[in-house]
A and B are shown apart, each in its own frame.
Chain A
Amino acid sequence: MTGYPEGFVSPRPAWTTGRGLWEAVARRADRAGRYLAPFLLDVAGLAAFWILATYTYAWYVLGATAYLLVPWWVLLLGVVEGAIVWESFGRSWGQKVVGRELASGSGRPTASERLRYFVLWHAFGLTGIGFVTVPPLHERLSGLALARERPSSLAPVPWYRTSAGLFTAAFLGVTMAAALGVTLTWESVVRLFTQAGQSLDFWRALVRPDTSILLEAGRDMIVTVFMAVLATLFAVVVAVPLSFLAARNLMRGPIGRPIYTAVRGAMSIARSIEPIVWAIIFLVWVTALRSPFAGILALWVHSIADLVKLYAERLEAIDQGPIEAITATGAGRLSVLRYAIVPQIVNPYISFTLYRWDINIRMATVVGLVGGGGIGQRLINYIWGVQYRQAGMVMILIVLLVWAIDYLSARLRAKLA
């Protein structure tokens, strides 16, 4: 025996082992992240503010579009320095967002402590050198640390008395000024009043719909409903198996995780592209200028992406208990899937599918606008053809259809729950 008392831990430094080294690095990275997060937020916030302010200034004063007005490196230097000043001498927006504040060991930070922190952050924080030690060098030398904000028993300071509050207000103000300026041009607002008569024709026609087109419009409605039904059905066939690949709790390990990431990423991209844009792409693909087929393909792709997300989120929330129990009976993997997972997800899956069907009915009218067939196509043709009374009839039909399906899907889903 070595003579160490029982339970004595070997004196070897922790970082000489792989795990110890990993932990030491992780601790420093964690510490660096604690400083970096508010700093990056401040830099991003200040930069965004500058860009928005410039944009507004350029829009109103110069009558042009401009984002920077200064070279990009000047802006970068300015916001970095601004962020450091703000964080050292006040309570910055970024610090407030992450819920931390500069705290001194001896009560309130003094001006000289803040000044030291300001200088030291340049040397050690920005360069990253300081984070080699725990706690970081600038923290040790300045006596200030970025600590979790302490709950105060004093009445909260009103937002207009804090720099972060004022910054947020100014930010929102500039944003709204820019947004309103860009979107509400004077001519268009004038047209809103001068051309009201033109739209009055439309509204008047809406209350005197043309019922003679009822039969043809009805047939297009049937096409629309079938588009939604088939797109949903075909989407389910693809989305159900994919959802298992997109569930974080089922896809573990070196093979599972990349598959999970890939499927989730692809679905996320597909979902970000509106069905209308998909319809345009598919219209070019299947060549027919006007075809419900292109519409259904567009709905199909978008539905798959949406359903996979909904399904996978449900899968991630399943109860692990039955899985454990069925595994314990000696059942194989497929049996566990069939008896522990599937019963838990059948009803939610059907419910999501009905919900998506409901959405697809709306979307089917919309993809019709680009030539995806169905009732939407008829509507846009009427509107652009100045056949407002017919358009009014179609709109009434759409409202009724959407209502009916909405009601039906809600009722069925309530029954499933």
Chain B
Amino acid sequence: MSPGQASARPRTNRLAGLARRGGSFLLDWMVWGYVAYGVMYLLNHYWYTRLPEHWYDTLRLPSWGWPVVVLATLEMAVWTRSLGRSLGQRAVGVALGPAAGGRLGLGRRVLRGILWHVTLPLAPVWIAQGGEPYHDRLSGSGLRPVVPDPERPARRALLTQWGIVSVLLGLLTLWVGWLIVGINIQVLIRRAPQAGRIWRDMLRPDFRYFTAPDPVFELRALRYSILDLTVVTVFMALVATVLGAAVAFPLSFFGARNVMGFGPVGWVTYAVVRGFFNVFRSIETIIWASIFAIWVGYGTVLAGILALTVHTVAALGKLYSEQVEGVAPGPLEAVWAAGGSRVQVVRHAVIPQVLPSFWAFTLYRWDINVRMSTVIALVGGGGIGDMLFYYKNQGDWPKVGAVVMVIVAVVWAMDYLSGRLRERIA
């Protein structure tokens, strides 16, 4: 740990390519853009609030403001890149060094910064040539990929420019984030007694209606007890997992590169299926539930099941497909060689290889679905969450406590069960 990695000075004569140059430059510009955002936010928060025109919490600037911000961040990027090793340069692994031997002194670094501005109009020329920029060539410097020197220690990260900038970025993030999120420790402490009451109530759970239906909680003509709704919740997860796996299983083969081949039809199918998986996976189950609640009715168990199923299909489909893509090619070739069709290859070479991990993923998903089904009622998805949110709105915390305890027990049990089964499969 102590003396870090090998020293980072350019040791090759090869210059960094355009992609690395451009990439690191954009990164630096973005870093300073983020800093500008933070500074503006802080200005808004601490200073503009005193002005008669209330700009608090907004990012409003005078009309000349935006060009200033853009130019200022650009300048910062240029100078940090010339004067030392910037964060962007570090991220893509390049550093500025002398063109020939010797050290790159402050004078040449400043010269490079100035030349950057002077030669800016000529940038398209050297970019088109794909070669060395004029500001580098004229200042006798060069941007090169870093090759670690095994005989010399690296400088301590915190003493380098990019190290300092990283720490400052972290502090800025904390400061701005603290304000944006509205962290308020005083409220937390001041209201601790009230919260304490809630916790006490929840820890004295009211299990009177564990098996007997609670007359207060009358849901759509069906009279449910905690136990009844727990069973329904577990069944929701079960049905969704089974349905989801059943749909995802065949679909996953269409989302696997090696099965679909590289023909145009195969490629399009692959792209469509994978795109479907990715988009539908990025939308959380609970958001799906709010959509299906519009469709089949608020508070319907079916809405919850559909939401869970859609997300399960997308998530499992992606995992399954990746497994299919990771199969050993040997058995596939054997079946091809024996004159098997594509279906036969899948049936006899792919499925036997992927089945254990498919089971493992499905069990894992079952675990997740149980967790999700406990809260999906929040947006009208049905299940035990109905009760939880109902009691919470009534302020009946002992009953909330009972429901939460049942949820914890069920989630725990299913987690354990699914974990044990997965161990057996592996």
Contact = CB atoms under 8 A, between A and B. Distances in A.
Contact of B302 (A55, A192, A199): A192
A55 B372 CA distance: 24
Interface string B284-297: 10110011101111
Given A202-B291, A226-B176, A272-B415, A185 B187 contact: no
A274 interface: yes
A269 B290 contact: no
Contacts of A293: 181-184, 187
Interface in B186-240: 187-188, 191-192, 194-195, 198, 224-225, 227-228, 231-232, 235-236, 238-239
A399 interface: yes
Given A189-B302, A229-B173, A272-B411, A179 B282 contact: no
Interface of B: 1, 59, 173-174, 176-178, 180-184, 187-188, 191-192, 194-195, 198, 224-225, 227-228, 231-232, 235-236, 238-239, 242, 278-279, 282-284, 286-287, 290-292, 294-297, 300-303, 305-306, 371-372, 374-375, 378-379, 388-389, 392, 404, 407-408, 411-412, 415
Given A183-B232, A188-B297, A339-B1, A276 B286 contact: yes
Nearest to B242: A176
Main secondary structure of the interface of A (DSSP, over half): helix
B181 to A, nearest CB: 5
B235 A198 contact: no
A229 B238 CA distance: 34
A175 interface: yes
Given A188-B296, A403-B278, A280 B392 contact: yes
A362 interface: yes
A184 interface: yes
A250 interface: no
B301 A342 contact: no
B412 A272 contact: yes
A21 interface: no
A47 interface: no
A380 B379 contact: yes
8 contacts: A183-B301, A189-B302, A192-B296, A286-B187, A286-B188, A295-B181, A380-B379, A383-B290
A12 interface: no
Interface of A: 55, 65, 67, 175-176, 178-180, 182-185, 188-189, 191-192, 195-196, 198-199, 202, 219, 222-223, 226-227, 229-230, 233, 268-269, 272-274, 276-277, 280-281, 284-288, 291-293, 295-297, 338-339, 342-343, 362, 365-366, 369-370, 373, 376, 379-380, 383-384, 395, 398-399, 402-403, 406
Given A188-B300, A277-B388, A286-B187, A196 B378 contact: no
B295 A178 contact: no
B177 A229 contact: yes
A296 B235 contact: no
Given A230-B181, A272-B407, 7 more contacts: A188-B297, A273-B408, A276-B375, A277-B374, A297-B188, A338-B1, A384-B290
B290 A369 contact: yes
